[in-house]
Structure 1
Amino acid sequence: MQPKIAVFALLMFISSSVQADWMRFRGPNGSGVSDEKQATPDRWSPQQNLKWKVALPGHGSSSPIIVGDKVFVTCWSGYGMTRNDPGDQKDLRRHLVCLDRKSGKILWDKTVDPVLPEDIYTGMFAEHGYASHTPTSDGKNVYAYFGKSGAVAYDLDGNKLWQTIVGDELDPRRWGSSSSPILYKDLLIVTATAESEALVGLDKKTGKEVWRQESTGFNATWGTPVLVKGSDGETDLVLGVPYEIWGMNPENGKLRWYCEAMDTDTYCSSVIAENGIVYGIEGRGGGSIAVKAGGKGNVTKTNILWTGRDANRIETPVMYQGRIYFFSRGIVNCIDAKTGERIFRGRLESGDSVATDDREEEAGGNRFGGRSGRGGGGGFRGSDYSSPVIADGKVYFTSRSGETYVIKASAQLEQISVNRLTDENEDFSASPAISDGDLFIRSDKHLYCVGK
């Protein structure tokens, strides 16, 4: 009996360790949903449930990831620290930073030199900057993408394994790129939108380019792909692009199927998927869709389950128990994943007041909001960049001005709380990571760990 108990305990330990990791943008397959059973906090402040706060060596909008007892996040420094006096581009450095998840201590900080000329730090580009791509990990190594400076790989101790440049172009809109890399088998897949209008598959062991698929559609794409098993049993690499949803073969990047989608010339958010169905809600121009993955060629007439006029702005929606939640202009929305019909809509409230269900209120406008710069005022009334995540039956959504709203993940709108970590002028554009009951929330200046 004792050996069996020991084996069972070991398996449970291994299972919980793997489950606790959050190793890519928005966690497991980009869903934003934690499957852990641990309770997560619903209230915090600088004095309550804040485990640690650590100053980062630079600015950034990328999200943290969790790998075992380590936290990884990217930053930039040296250039573009302010709009009025950005400095000299040759001083730009990208950082991959590793922190101890228990204490927040920085274990190592590796820098990557720029490939010049870079995007000028002004306009829409300065809304997110030079470290917007969230890193990813396979549990052994960590991989980051730094635009023109390429994809890089390090082991967990900070030893550089390789660096590969995948494109040297600049975004003609001067918005930059922000799609995060993902892993599939032995491939690191990079959405090099602004840099080469391409999707690129790299050998994760060597950094050698395995395949490349170019398209002008990638030029106006800022989302991160997800992996979806379709009705035909094939695993598709699915991405929202202007006017369409694409399903590609992750082995070689070739297009398997596509369908007509939102009437928008840009696609800023990421799609989500569950049970072989892909859901997209896009902001610029608006529109929502549910489509069955799988098939060949144009599947518009056969695979689309429903379409709608929901508007999601920049952040990616999150799905839980058949309901899709998304946020726009300070309004929380919930729709039925099966039908696309509205379940509720209500305005988020600051301070001690809470949101109430308002099924008649309409969200105003579909265009990007009026923030004047990074870290300034405006809050959620402008363009929030962070995407909602779910854990312990609660939806967490962080505005750019630093409020994290907590609502129950149910069919009725009930706002539990709104929380702030600082009264300082910080930009919160990253999506939280979740691990072992803790939330890791990143601003342009600090990384915070929140937990009971």
Structure 2
Amino acid sequence: MKTKLFLLAAFLFLNFISVDIAGQNLPGENYWPQWRGPLATGAAIKGNPPVQFNESQNLKWKTPIPGKGHATPIVWGGKIIIETAVPQAFEGKPNSEIKEDGNSWMDATETNLVLDYKVLLVNLNDGKIVWEKTVASEKPEERTHKLGSWASNSPCTDGERIYAYFGSRGIYCLDFDGNILWERDFGQMEKVMSFGEGSSPYLYKNRLFIQWDHQGDSHFFALDAKTGETVWSDERDEPSSWATPLVVEINGKPQVISAATNLVRSYDFNTGEIIWSCSGLTRNVIPNPKIADGILYLSSGFRGNATMAIDIAKAHGDITGTGIILWQYNQDCPYTPDNLLLGESLYFMRANNGELTCLDAKTGEVKYSKEKLEGISDLYSSPSGVGDKIYVVSENICLVIKAGDNFEILSSNQLDDDFHASPVIVGDKLILRGFNSLYCFED
């Protein structure tokens, strides 16, 4: 059975288009409710953001954001939700002094920083910060990669509640006025090589899913979204991963997909029992599972390359090496950047480099490979797209690439910021979260 994906009629009171994926209504054109968007593919359902923009052209607004965080923002209606970590003091001998320009602390990877972990709500129309809520204030025991941050997990929302996840700092459920409704602490993660944390929560109906893979005791959690209580959990043999789960509806029943090093697992939504599994990904899995037309896509690219497509309706038990895996592509796969499933194509970077490959999503046929993204050498954000446009952002630049079978750069847009968060597309607006500022562009 193909995954449901169809446009519904506009709601009488809410007046927005919705999409049914995995049996749940997800908001459409003016919404980006989770990491990688309404379909968890990196693609917006509909929209037409500008192709040409910079610090003055088509800039609707630009708002300084306190602290540091690479978490991609989410959008619900006219509200943007952002996570950040703001330094308050050093405990013990500091690595460096906090200067007036606020930049020196951004290079710190040690754990003597006392940080305020904050959730911000920003008005989409004018960029004004409506409120900011400190959910925790403490010194992280873990280190993080010098290119990372202590606020790299994107939040998610159903329009009623905000779920802000800070890894070892816990997960917090807030209302849209900034009040904390409940919170959970899962303990302290031990990420490999102190690479930092980054997996995001995934919300499906009344369940919230957390992938908690590290060098200690790894778990996969299913929480009651209203209370935060554990519905079921799986203690599993997995090293560090950073992928975000995905829920899909197959043959009328929801499955929870988790991509990790040892196994890709499909859990029964209600019980947590494993429906099917397979091996084949590399270590340090970061890209997320994606689905379209009944085909599940998985990728990883750390010290190896693996991309595969699975006929998920036929998957049961151990499917490793079976014909249920429709095709595999084992070169030039992404490490940190997530891939983009847009139209009939799967797009991805080579490792963390500015080189783009495009495959036919159904057949795995190469449309083009390792096309150089001029002006981009290293890349830690993920491409996002809508219609016939793909947006790729890196240090001081955002490229707009034509979607389709042939590689073409439509524009190269210079910006006064660095970017590790991924582009967000809501209607005709493009939202970019930089190291220092939040941007909104619109024709």
Look up the equivalent residue of 2:267 and give its one-letter code: M
Structure with greater helix share of residues: 1
Contact 1:166 1:196 in 2 (8 A): no
Corresponding residue to 2:299 among 263, 281, 289: 281
Specify the alignment match of 2:226 in structure 1: 205
Corresponding residue to 1:67 among 65, 73, 76: 76
Structure with greater strand share of residues: 2
**Larger deviation, residues 237-246 vs 13-22:** 13-22
Corresponding residue to 1:389 among 380, 384, 389: 384
Deviations 1:112-133 (A, max 9, x none): 2256652125xxx232121010
Count of residue pairs brought into register by the alignment: 404
Map 1:244-323; keep pairs closer than 5 Å.
244-262=263-281, 264-284=282-302, 285-294=304-313, 295-300=315-320, 301-310=322-331, 311-323=333-345
1:331 matched to 2:355? The reply is yes
Contact 1:167 1:196 in 2 (8 A): no
Map 1:337-348; keep pairs closer than 5 Å.
337-345=361-369, 347-348=371-372
Deviations 1:19-72 (A, max 9, x none): 211100011231111112x42111101010111111111101100100111100
Moved over 6 A (4+): none
Deviations 1:260-314 (A, max 9, x none): 223x222121121112211122211112111122432102214110112132222
Look up the equivalent residue of 1:23 and give its one-letter code: P
Q: CA RMSD in A?
A: 2.2
Corresponding residue to 2:438 among 407, 423, 447: 447
Q: Equivalents in 2 of 1:345, 1:447: separation in Å?
A: 32
Tell me the TM-score normalised to structure 2 length: 0.85
Specify the alignment match of 1:411 in structure 2: 405
Alpha-carbon shift at residue 420 of structure 1 (Å): 2.2
Contact 1:22 1:66 in 2 (8 A): yes
Specify the alignment match of 2:149 in structure 1: 129
Q: Equivalents in 2 of 1:69, 1:196: separation in Å?
A: 40
1:186 matched to 2:206? The reply is yes
Map 1:146-161; keep pairs closer than 5 Å.
146-161=166-181
Tell me the TM-score normalised to structure 1 length: 0.84
Look up the equivalent residue of 2:388 and give its one-letter code: G
SS at match of 1:48: coil
Specify the alignment match of 1:106 in structure 2: 129
Deviations 1:220-276 (A, max 9, x none): 21111122223x4332211221143221123233321112223x2221211211122
Q: What percentage of aligned pairs have identical amino acids? A: 30
Q: Equivalents in 2 of 1:84, 1:200: separation in Å?
A: 31
Contact 2:305 2:330 in 1 (8 A): yes
Q: Equivalents in 2 of 1:83, 1:120: separation in Å?
A: 12
Contact 2:155 2:165 in 1 (8 A): yes
SS at match of 1:148: helix
1:35 matched to 2:51? The reply is no
Deviations 1:172-199 (A, max 9, x none): 4311221100111211111222375111
SS at match of 1:291: strand
Deviations 1:7-26 (A, max 9, x none): x9873962248421110001
Gaps in structure 2 of 5+ consecutive residues: 1-8, 19-26, 91-103
Specify the alignment match of 1:120 in structure 2: 143
